[in-house]
């Protein structure tokens, strides 16, 4: 049974960059499922925030596309982060901890929607939301896989660059 109170309490700790949340993620296998719930919920809220109507979102094909898009980003970004951290910076840790950190950082991307609404600047909104996401991921890496902050930030940004490359490749494949 999933206790959402625990999930949101750990999410709040993560957003506040508290060490306890990241240590909990490292030692609790259940955190991977909790991270998946946060990714799916955030993806639905991001889609609604971008102007998709609730009726359109309920359509099965749209809903599956939205959810798969969020889960794809989560899994691929975590994998890219793992590769960069392990192979460029000799970090420790298993793939699961990268999934957990990324999943718990994912809700910070909602800042993109709120900033875009308030400031009417999509680029600034993307930078602000992305910066907070990178900061949380980097902070989590410092606690769980023994990277210094500079290397952790470089790994978080490097992971994002790899995701953009993978998405560009898959995007060009779908054109044919």
* 3 state SS for the chain: CCCHHHHHHHHHHHHCCCHHHHHHHHHCCCHHHHHHHHHHHHHHHHHHHCCCCHHHHHCHHHHHHHHHHHHHHHHHHHHHHHHHHHHHHCCCCCHHHHHHHHHHHHHHHHHHHHHHHHHCCHHHHHHHHHHHHHHHHHHHHHHHCCCCHHHHHHHHHHHHHHHHHHHHHHHHHHCC
Does the pLDDT value for residue 1 go beyond 60? no
Residue whose structure tokens are 């460029």: 88
Average pLDDT, the chain: 83
Residue whose structure tokens are 């979102």: 57
Instruction: Tell me the pTM.
Output: 0.86
Beta carbons of 141 and 130 less than 8 angstroms apart: no
pLDDT of residue 153: 92
| pLDDT single digits (tens) 39-62 | 998 888 888 877 777 787 787 888
Does the pLDDT value for residue 176 go beyond 60? no
Closest residue by Cα to residue 98 from 48, 147, 171: 147
Task: For residues 138 and 150, give the distance between their C-alpha atoms in angstroms, rounded to a whole number.
Answer: 8
Residue partners of 53: CB distance under 8 A and separation at least 6: none
| pLDDT single digits (tens) 125-161 | 777 778 888 999 999 999 888 888 999 999 999 998 8
| Angle between helix 122-144 and 149-174 (nearest 10) | 120
pLDDT of residue 84: 92
- Lowest-pLDDT range of 2-6, 64-68, 85-89, 91-95: 2-6
């Amino acid at each position: 049974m999933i206790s959402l109170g625990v999930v949101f309490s750990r999410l709040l700790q993560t957003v506040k960059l508290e060490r306890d949340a990241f240590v909990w993620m490292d030692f609790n296998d259940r955190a991977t499922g909790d991270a998946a719930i946060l990714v799916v919920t955030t993806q639905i809220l991001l889609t609604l925030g971008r102007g998709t109507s609730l009726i359109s979102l309920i359509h099965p094909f749209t809903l599956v596309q939205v959810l798969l898009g969020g889960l794809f980003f989560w899994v691929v970004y975590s994998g890219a982060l793992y590769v960069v951290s392990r192979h460029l910076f000799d970090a420790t840790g298993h793939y699961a901890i990268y999934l957990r950190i990324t999943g718990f950082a994912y809700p910070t991307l909602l800042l993109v929607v709120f900033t875009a609404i308030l400031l009417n600047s999509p680029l600034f909104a993307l930078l602000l939301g992305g910066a907070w996401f990178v900061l949380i991921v980097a902070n989590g890496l410092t606690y769980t896989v023994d990277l210094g902050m500079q290397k952790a930030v470089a790994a978080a940004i490097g992971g994002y660059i790899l995701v953009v490359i993978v998405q560009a490749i898959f995007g060009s494949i779908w054109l044919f």
